[in-house]
Structure 1
Amino acid sequence: MAYWPGADNLTISMPDHAAPFFIALNAGSGHAETEERQTIIEAVLRGAGQPFQLTIIDPPDAIDQVAAQLARQAAAAGGVLVAAGGDGTINAVAQQAIRHGCAFGVLPQGTFNYFARTHGIPEDLEQAVHALLAARVQAVQVGVVNDRVFLVNASIGLYPRLLEEREADKAQFGRSRLVAAFSALKTILSPHRRLRLVLKIDGELQRLRTATFFVGNNRLQMEQIGIPPLSEALEDGRLAAVAPRTKGKFGMLWLLLHGALGRMGRLDQADELTTFSFKRIQVKVRTLSRRRRIKVATDGEVTLMSNPLEFHVMEEQLLLLKPTTRHSREGGNPSRASRPAVHGFPPARE
């Protein structure tokens, strides 16, 4: 559905707030809830006299096609591409915003909403729409693994499996943080294999065995799991890597609980954890042949990618509409040293 007040005389330039919004609304939560969200969005935007076009993504696997079409329209009109959904939806739509060079807005509707919360975007839908109307464009960092971008995190090993089982449990028991927590506990306590990794960082090789290799691009998530130094590195144009070295499932459970209670102790001080920051890294999984593909989770979505994996910070940045009134603290200090801190690596072997 589209609404264009005075469209014949509309002149658009960014960040002019007369610029139209091209909104992709994910219908994954069900018809009734989608209809309610659509009503709220349209009521606020019409009340503000804001030109917009709202497209419902249904079925969910049409998201890439819909987002690409809306991005082309937004780029041609000097408008804003807006994602309404969880972190996976935001990721898919953001990729098209970057590809087509248009500004990007977010209306968070997921379970955790790490990306939105980090950038001070309200989780309440009506408040988020109002915040979008008063937002200003700010460039934000984007991570890449192979050819896929991520705004929150990317990972291999146990974490992608956890995400797949979590989605299955949510489909059966409903979408809530409690269901997500119990699903994660069940996955961690089930049998799982450790990965044998060869990491190439700044030309140097390091070997690592771990159940999961996690790369973060979200300050709030790093702070919540109790690794403040890595959250600071994200403000310096780097990505954050975390890999547990513990062998047993109960050791993994301890790390999970320790991270969940991060304010009671810093996770980066745990003896069984490797943490470091970087701008570019190659990760090769030694347990798989060179031609095999491996499961990689990016912002909650699991896909197959070629081995080895290349993680890096994208040169282009995402032109995000951020609220003028902050709901999260601002960080960043360009004077910090750019050399990465590496903790917990075993001796490198060729």
Structure 2
Amino acid sequence: MPAAPALAPAAPLFVVLNRGSGRGSADETRQAIEAACRAAGRPLTLRVVGQGRRVPDLAREAVESALAQGGIAVAAGGDGTINAVAHAALRAGCAFGVLPQGTFNYFSRVHGIPAPIEESLQSLLTGTPQPVQAGEVNDRAFLVNASLGLYARMLEEREDFKARFGRRRWVAFGAALATLLKGFRTWTLNVSAGGGTQVLRTPTLFVGNNALQFEQVGVEEGQAVEDGGALAAIALEPLGRLAMIGLVLRAALGRLGSASKVRSFTFREIEVQAATGASSGRRRVRVATDGEVQWMDMPLRFRVSPRPLWLVKRLDAKAERA
């Protein structure tokens, strides 16, 4: 494993702040960050998303500055913001920090980073870089999950619901049901690993890197993710709309893993290609990484990243299960 990034004394923070994330006031978040850094004597550079400034560009700038000055590139926002900064930090070997502002905050919770801004700031300002596992799909990092098919479409359409009704858990659940009622297609996929290939017919392939998310839906393979060195996948067998709605309800109750129409497995690296027939000819597909949907070329290569993500957190941090 490579050495941890060296932080300068009073390591400066380079924060990418997404004003559109979370339910609180962005101005209050900014003021809290500025006040905490002032009190700790830590230099701060804030890069605010908006007015034509895209998150990936700001993330790259934050990482470049952090590397040059022995500082920390920090994401203050939801999953999309965290993913963008983490992707840049992972590739560069830069120290990475999180001030979670999202709806579910799976990544920060599994690493014991509290949601209240004052508490997450204290964790960041008193923490040290520690290696944590990231996943990759076609070299794009993901911290929580990556998916194609129905789940990716659910995430894409969920953003419209959030814009109309707010960023709450019941809104996400209602958006999922609305997507299911529209209908969905079945994919035929060749999944290759270790010299062998299996054919999956499924409306969605979900690959996770977050033990807490698997635990909450009741899939045991999440334990392999928590132990480290593996990702876990879920594929649903072909189903009708009512049966699929039933599976969504089972997931909400934490009983998805016991359903007969659910296949799950763990791996370190797989390659996914559209099989001859129903899905053949599709060279580019929509893939969601930590909730952000983008086009990717087939085949899709999912793997545990060979590089650690150097997350700044306290040594005594405990995962939040609630």
Q: Same fold (TM over 0.5)?
A: yes
Amino acid at match of 1:18: A
In the alignment, what sits opposite 1:179? 171
SS in 2 for 1:228: coil
In the alignment, what sits opposite 1:28? 20
Amino acid at match of 2:297: S
Runs of 5+ unmatched residues, structure 2: none
SS in 2 for 1:75: helix
Structure 2 matches for 1:110-125, cutoff 5 A? 110-125=102-117
The CA RMSD over aligned residues, in Å, is: 2.1
In the alignment, what sits opposite 2:216? 224
Deviation at 1:160, TM superposition (A): 1.1
Rounded Cα–Cα distance in structure 2 between residues aligned with 1:170 and 1:324: 35
| Structure 1 contact 283–308 (Cα < 8 Å) conserved | yes
Structure 2 matches for 1:272-283, cutoff 5 A? 272-283=261-272
SS in 2 for 1:121: coil
Counterpart pick for 1:90 among 67, 78, 82: 82
**CA distance 1:296–1:89, shift in 2 (3 Å):** same
Deviates more, 1:145-154 or 1:283-292: 283-292
In the alignment, what sits opposite 2:181? 189
Post-superposition CA distance 1:74-106 (Å, at most 9, x none)? 001111110000111101001111222210000
SS in 1 for 2:103: coil
| Structure 2 contact 63–89 (Cα < 8 Å) conserved | yes
Residues 1:270 and 2:262 are matched in the alignment: no
| Structure 1 contact 234–240 (Cα < 8 Å) conserved | no
Rounded Cα–Cα distance in structure 2 between residues aligned with 1:85 and 1:295: 23
Deviation at 1:255, TM superposition (A): 1.4
Deviation at 1:291, TM superposition (A): 5.8
Rounded Cα–Cα distance in structure 2 between residues aligned with 1:55 and 1:233: 33
Counterpart pick for 2:292 among 298, 301, 305: 301
Post-superposition CA distance 1:264-283 (Å, at most 9, x none)? x4x32321111000011111
**TM score, norm. by length of structure 1:** 0.85
User: How many residue pairs were aligned?
Assistant: 315
| Structure 2 contact 225–231 (Cα < 8 Å) conserved | yes
Amino acid at match of 2:295: L
SS in 1 for 2:295: strand
Q: Which runs of 4+ in 1 moved over 4 A?
A: none
Higher relative contact order (CA 8 A, sep 6+): 2
Percent identity reads: 48
Residues 1:320 and 2:301 are matched in the alignment: no
**TM score, norm. by length of structure 2:** 0.92
Rounded Cα–Cα distance in structure 2 between residues aligned with 1:47 and 1:233: 38
Amino acid at match of 2:298: N
In the alignment, what sits opposite 1:285? 274
Larger radius of gyration: 1
